[in-house]
Amino acid sequence: MRFEPSSRKRRRPTLTPLIDVVFLLLVFFMLATSFGSEASLRLQVGAPTAASRLPGDTGDTGNGSDAAPDAKRETIRITLSADGRIRVNGESVREGEVSGAILRALADERERPVRVLADDASPLQAIATVLAALERAGAEDVGLALATPTEAHE
Amino acid sequence: MNFASQKQRRPVENVVPLINIVFLLLIFFMLAGSLRPVEPFAVELPKAAGEREPAERGAEGSVLFVAANGELALDGQRLDEAALLAALAARSGDGSLQLRADARVPARRFLPLLGRLRDAGVAELELVVADDR
């Protein structure tokens, strides 16, 4: 150890503890921060969402034959299969084209009912993809439910 | 030559640029990053192009984790479904819940859970996704 004369030591406060603390903070922020940006999707839990069966679902591909008040509006049916594939009104859609397909199906009628029928084993990734596309398209009436086996293989 | 006297004056001065850089890095990480909640288990968020930023959650009982195998945790504490629903029913607040669920959770696990969350008094659910835009 080297002891300096005390008069010299006094002139400038030692910076070492400060540096220690700042390094500690630096390491903390480096480890605790995440740079991948996150977003959120709203899940409408109050509405028919997550109900086991939906009144608008008659098992057909949505020709609006049910007796609902706005029966003239075609229900858009989106089915998710076990391997994560997405079909809009029966047509198979690739992941990158879900948004476009939903926009076309909605055809500027935001209040058109949309029913998402998920296979038992379909991953949340497929649900999130569809919900994000629906949210961007501005769909207002979205129902989300498990598909019965017959619906899943339509 | 008299090195000793030089040495005594220099060491403290040399540290100042270092501190400047470290402070700069510190401020960069503080501003550019975002603190993420402690995850009780690995959760790989689904990728989707969302439009809203997830709300900051500070209140208790406000972040629900769902693992790929269906395990649940509320605010970093693992619990089973019955305990979760009891905890949600008992909490006070605006009834909002942030959901951080793994992308591989099957629908047969996820959708019934949503229904039960609603029954437990959750009015607003926010599904957090990794923004892939």
Write down the ipTM of this complex: 0.72
Return mean pLDDT, chain B.
80
pLDDT classification of B102: cutoffs 50, 70, 90: very high
pLDDT classification of B41: cutoffs 50, 70, 90: confident
Q: Which two tokens stand for residue B101?
A: 């669920």
CA closest to A127 among chain B residues: B107
Q: What's the longest Cα–Cα distance across chain A? A: 96
- In a 13 Å sphere around the CA of A47, the CA atoms on its Cβ side amount to 14
Closest CA to A35 of B104, B130, B122: B130
Q: What is the sign, positive or negative, of the torsion defined by CA atoms of B90, B96, B98, B103?
A: positive
Strands A113-118 and A76-80: parallel
pLDDT at A108 over 90: no
User: Higher pLDDT residue, B11 or A53?
Assistant: B11
Q: Which two tokens stand for residue B127?
A: 């599904």
pLDDT classification of B8: cutoffs 50, 70, 90: low
- Say what the pLDDT of residue A6 is: 54
Is 0.80 surpassed by the pTM of this model? no
The residue type of A38 is: E
Interchain contact A91–B (C-beta under 8 A): no
Edge to edge, the sheet with strand A91-93 lists A91-93, A86-88, A76-80, A113-118, A141-146
Between B104, B106, B131, which is nearest A39 by CB?
B131
- Say what the pLDDT of residue A61 is: 36
Which stretch of DSSP H or E encloses residue A92? strand A91-93
Residues A93 and A100: their CA atoms lie apart, in Å, by 10
Q: Which DSSP category does A97 fall into?
A: G
Specify the length of chain A in residues. Answer: 154
Interchain contact A3–B (C-beta under 8 A): no
Residues B36 and B13: their CA atoms lie apart, in Å, by 37
> pLDDT tens across A111-144, in order?
888 888 998 888 999 999 899 888 888 888 888 8
Residues B128 and B133: their CA atoms lie apart, in Å, by 15
Please report the residues numbered 31 through 90 in chain B whose beta carbons come closer than 8 angstroms to any beta carbon of chain A: 32-36, 45-55
Query: B53 and A38 in contact by Cβ < 8 A?
Result: yes
Backbone φ and ψ of A48, nearest 5°: -60, -10
Distance from B88 to chain A by nearest Cα, in Å? 15
pLDDT classification of B57: cutoffs 50, 70, 90: low
B9-20 mean pLDDT: 71
Share of chain A above pLDDT 70, in %: 69
Query: A43 and B126 in contact by Cβ < 8 A?
Result: yes
Range ranked top by mean pLDDT from A17-31, B20-34, B100-114: B100-114
Least confident of A48-62, B56-70, B102-116: A48-62
- Say what the pLDDT of residue B12 is: 52
Query: A135 and B51 in contact by Cβ < 8 A?
Result: yes
- Say what the pLDDT of residue A51 is: 41
CB B85 within 8 A of CB B121: no
Contacts of A152 (CB under 8 A, 6+ apart): A79, A81, A82, A117, A119, A120
CB A73 within 8 A of CB A110: no
Interchain contact A111–B (C-beta under 8 A): no
Strands A113-118 and A141-146: parallel
- Say what the pLDDT of residue A54 is: 45
pLDDT at A151 over 90: no
CB pairs under 8 A between A and B: 171
- Say what the pLDDT of residue B123 is: 81
User: Higher pLDDT residue, A42 or A71?
Assistant: A42
